[in-house]
Amino acid sequence: MVIAKRTALQATALGFSAALLVAACSSGGGGGGGKAAESTGAAKAGSGTKVTVTETEYALKLSRSAFAPGVYTFTADNKGKTTHALEVDGPGVADVRTQNIQGGQQASVTVTLKKGTYKVYCPVDGHQQLGMKTTVTVS
């Protein structure tokens, strides 16, 4: 009984360190060879298919609804009066965002989208909850 208990404990400890290893690897930039920008999924600025994201209080609207895998440049056009920003998050793209955008200004992010579902939203506090989010399905 005592032995079985120890084994279970060890297994738990092993599982925990394995999880830590996985977490360390996935946030470590894939072997250290790549630039920081690559590990987050950001691609070369301005190089992709252009998508305009119109931002207002509190909504965002994309200029395209069909996405195939590839490189996209999302330009956030802040048509509102409040400061907004734009963030893309999904497979291979970890929290790639623009700087804060004042009303009437624009800013862009370029990302490589793979097959899957991406979240596109305004990362300014509370705006996502107010409706400034959408999903993009790449297929």
- Tell me the closest approach of the beta carbon of residue 73 to Cu ion, in angstroms: 19
Residue 122 in contact with Cu ion, rule: CB under 5 A? yes
| Of residues 12 and 135, the one with the C-beta less far from Cu ion | 135
How many Cβ atoms from other residues are within 10 Å of residue 75's Cβ?
Answer: 18
Rounded CA-CA distance 118/121 in Å is: 10
CA angle 102/35/43 to nearest 5° reads 50
How many Cβ atoms from other residues are within 10 Å of residue 130's Cβ?
Answer: 12
What mask of x and - would describe binding to Cu ion in positions 5 to 24, judged by CB under 5 A? --------------------
Rounded CA-CA distance 36/88 in Å is: 16
- Tell me the closest approach of the beta carbon of residue 127 to Cu ion, in angstroms: 3
Residue 127 in contact with Cu ion, rule: CB under 5 A? yes
Span near Cu ion by CB under 5 A; candidates 2-10, 63-71, 106-114, 116-124? 116-124
| Of residues 42 and 85, the one with the C-beta less far from Cu ion | 85
| Of residues 97 and 127, the one with the C-beta less far from Cu ion | 127
> What Cα–Cα distance (Å) separates residue 14 from each residue in 6, 10, 11, 21, 101?
12, 6, 5, 10, 45
Residue 10 burial by Cβ neighbours in a 10 Å radius (0-12, 13-18, 19+): exposed
- 37-96: which residues touch Cu ion (CB under 5 A)? 84
Span near Cu ion by CB under 5 A; candidates 18-26, 32-40, 97-105, 117-125? 117-125
Instruction: Return the residue of 51, 113, 124, 136 that touches Cu ion, per CB under 5 A.
Output: 124
